[in-house]
Amino acid sequence: MRIGVTCYPVPGGSGVVATELGIDLAKRGHQVHFITYSPPFRLQRFIENLYYHQVEVSNYPLFKFPPYTLSLACKMAEIAELWSLDLLHAHYAIPHATAAFLAKSILKEHSPKVITTLHGTDITLVGADQSFRGITKFSIEESDGVTTVSEFLKKRTRDEFGLKNEIEMIPNFVDTERFIQREDQARRRQFAEDDERILMHISNFRPVKRVEDIIKIFHLIDKKLSSKLVLIGDGPDLSKALSLSRDFGIEDKVISLGGQDYVENLLPLADLFLLPSDQESFGLVALEAMSCGVPVIATKTGGLPEVVIDGENGFLGPLGDVEFMSQKGIELLSDENRLNKFRENCRKRAVEKFDSKLIVPKYEEYYKKIVDSR
Ligand code: GMT
């Protein structure tokens, strides 16, 4: 198939899923065209069958706000026509599904099919915002196919918009050959003493991640079991987290690495992964941690219970209950046998349920179904 892919190219779960899916599909022989304003951040290698087309936005002086969506729609239409694309896959509803609808309307009878994958905040935050509600619902309804990354998000989308479309749930996935358990004592020593534990968090540090809870949970665990906290990523609330660690006098225990390209080299160093988010439609990064054999302590929210099995490969706590989550962390880190069992369970669940080898063919099948539909 010839597939156009549009996503946010900056660090974030939806961009990761779109990019990893595109790479896998290209490796499986499909022709994949990324149409974005900059190269997706995990797309750094030359891969056969994979193309990148940059969206240029005109900055005509009359425009107070350059109309990115319109430039994107024109680029999608241009690439679809030039390469005879079978379908456009829009990751994240706004504005990608809207631009895909416009591209399709421009091309009329020669248009490709449009599939929209909903990732989470496009429904729970952006789509729920009154100013975007109408266009979100419209763009989803106009898509030929709609997928969500969890059962939670499927239900939430239906409840929020009362949609008539059929929605296919295709869970997020991980390359379990790249995200693997690895002992790397030398690298571990760059972050922690031999008798210290390493806790980790990776995100875009937006308010939804509750970064202050991460510091509070870490502080409580560190009081009992000397540890280091490795923070990876950057975003609006990172400074809040670092400032709270200074208030607690633990700034030398919190290591902020900023954005990192190859998190698969860092995740296996962790003993525990923290994700106490306010909401999470899936929690892709939790899955990546699990694939590396790292148990997750997270909130019982959104789609996280579909990924982390409470008491088996991690713990799910009530939103904001830092005491509970730190207590579970201490219990697990203090019991080597149980920790090892959890590590095994993490890896097993990632391999058996969410391996890219199992999930990418589901997208392929769905593509075929939509492309063949009249
Ligand atoms: O978590 C973020 O803030 C990024 C966001 C995105 O759109 O890039 O992530 C969403 O999509 C991911 C991939 O499907 C999911 O794993 C995340 O759970 C979801 N985030 C939220 O629902 C808050």
77 and 111 both lie in a single domain: yes
Q: How far is the CA of 280 from the centre of ligand 1 (A)?
A: 6
Residue 178 falls inside a structural domain: no
Q: Looking at the structure, tell me whether residues 158 and 204 fall in a common domain.
A: no
| Atom of ligand 1 at shortest range from CA of 285 | 16
What DSSP string runs through 86-111? SEEEEESIIIIIHHHHHHHHHHGGGP
Cα dihedral 373, 148, 35, 259 in deg (nearest 10): -160
Considering the domain architecture, whether residues 167 and 18 belong to the same structural domain is answered as: yes
**CA nearest ligand 1 atom 21, residue:** 280
The string of pLDDT tens digits covering residues 321-332 is 999 999 999 999
Residues 204 and 284 in one domain: yes
266 and 368, same domain (yes or no): no
CATH of the domain at 261: 3.40.50.2000
Atom of ligand 1 nearest to the CA of 302: 22
188-238 tens-digit pLDDT? 999 999 999 999 999 999 999 999 999 999 999 999 999 999 999 999 999
Q: Could you tell me if 167 and 237 lie in one domain?
A: no
> Is there a single domain that holds both residue 297 and residue 215?
yes
What is Dmax (Cα atoms) for the chain?
A: 66
pLDDT at site 165: 86
Q: Is residue 7 part of a domain?
A: yes
Write the burial class of residue 49 (CB in 10 Å: 0-12 exposed, 13-18 middle, 19+ buried). middle
- What integer pLDDT is reported at residue 309 of this predicted model? 98
Answer yes or no: is 130 within a domain. Answer: yes
Distance 7 CA to ligand 1 centre (A): 12
Is position 79 within any domain?
Answer: yes
Across 155-159, average pLDDT: 95
Residues, the chain, total?
Answer: 374
Rounded CA separation 298/292 (Å): 17
Q: Could you tell me which residue, 60 or 219, shows the higher pLDDT?
A: 219
In a domain, 95, yes or no: yes
For ligand 1, mutation pick of 19, 280, 287 (most atoms within 8 Å of CB): 280
Which amino acid appears at position 113 of this protein?
A: K
Does 36 share its domain with 94?
A: yes
pLDDT, averaged across the chain = 96
Residue 125, domain member (yes or no): yes
pLDDT grade, residue 59 (50/70/90)?
confident
For ligand 1, the distance from its centroid to the CA atom of residue 208, given in whole angstroms, is 10
Q: Are 166 and 223 in a shared domain? A: no
Note down the domain range covering 168.
Answer: 2-173+355-372
Q: Is 159 within the bounds of a domain?
A: yes
Cβ 149 under 6 angstroms from ligand 1: yes
Higher pLDDT, 44 or 273: 273
3-class DSSP string for 251-263: HHHEEEEECCCCH
Residues 273, 230: Cα–Cα separation, whole Å? 10
CA distance 69 to 53: 15
How many independent structural domains does the chain possess?
2
Residue 327 lies in a domain: yes
In a shared domain, residues 81 and 120? yes
Q: What are phi and psi of 117, to 5 degrees?
A: -105, 125
Closest CA to 367 of 140, 13, 51, 117: 117
Tokens (6 digits) for 338: 């149980």
**Is there a single domain that holds both residue 48 and residue 122?**
yes
Same domain, 156 and 89: yes
Q: What pLDDT, on a 0 to 100 scale, did the predictor assign at position 350?
A: 98
CA of 304 to the centre of ligand 1 (A): 11
Ligand 1 center to 152 CA (angstroms):
13
Q: Please check the confidence at residue 45 and state whether its pLDDT lies above 80.
A: no
Q: Which is the closest atom of ligand 1 to the Cα of 153?
A: 22
Contact 118, 157 (CB under 8 A): yes
Is 143 a pocket residue for ligand 1 (Cβ < 6 Å)?
no
303-350: pLDDT as tens digits:
999 999 999 999 999 999 999 999 999 999 999 999 999 999 999 999
283 lines ligand 1 (CB under 6 A): yes
